[in-house]
Amino acid sequence: MVSWENIFCWIQMVLLYTFLYTFLHQRTYLFCLKHNVLEDLSNRCKPIYYKNVNPKFPEGGKMSQYLESLRIGDTIDFRGPSGLLVYQGNGAFAIKAEKKAEPVIKTSKKVGMIAGGTGITPMLQIITAIMKDPQDQTVCHLLFANQTEKDILLRPELEEIAANHPTRFKLWFTLDRAPEKWEYSQGFISEDMVRDHLPPPGDDTLILLCGPPPMIQFACNPNLDKVGHASSRRFTF
């Protein structure tokens, strides 16, 4: 039987993954859950990011501390999805330049994704939507950047998708500080990584980006330019 404690912990983890960027960067994401998510997550939960616990976040995590203060019976309001990009299926993306603009439909056969840290959130939702539809032949390439191996969010889920759909989902990691015998890349996003692990530029390729703004500005976009990916075929969450 799943306890209230585990239910609260599940809510904390899901909201932390999916809404951290909403609070910090005003981004709103749609999230989907497996039917057995409580069972999957109940054994993984532990308090995270209280004040003066993690030296990288001395003030603690805004979201986790807020949720920790809630009591059973309290209510939470949710809003969304209200993002600028909606995946419509079969390689079609409805993209708005701004919230009040009319969406422009962009189609693609290949989707290249660069995610940094919690920027994996919208990528996983799109990947999952594509892979669960056997009629959707869109191919996804994910280049996922993190500081250390322990920082890789949702790695088991991503590797499971890659194992189940080897021709439709290509997965590659890069770490700032890689352990010995690390089989993937090390360092910041580079021209070689973009060239080797994302689909080639073209009218049937769409590039999606989500991560810390400095990573997007100084690593992703310059190297996408070098490889020849047109800015009109890119979208940054």
Q: What's the CA gap between 41 and 120, in Å, rounded?
A: 18
Return d(Cα 123, Cα 125) in angstroms, integer: 5
The gap between the terminal CA atoms of the chain, to the nearest Å, is 38
- Tell whether 18 is in a known binding site: no
Q: Are 65 and 32 in contact, with CB atoms under 8 Å apart?
A: no
Residue 64 among known ligand-binding residues: yes
Residue 6: Cβ within 10 Å count: 16
> 121 labelled as ligand-binding?
yes
Cα distance between residue 34 and residue 70, in whole Å: 25
What burial letters (b/e) apply to 190-229, b meaning 16+ CB within 10 Å? eeebbeebbbebeeebbbbbbbbeebbeebbbebbeebeb
Check the annotation: does 107 bind a ligand: no
Q: Beta-carbon neighbour count of residue 26 at 10 Å?
A: 7
Which residue positions form the known binding site for FAD?
A: 62-64, 121
Which residue positions form the known binding site?
A: 62-64, 121
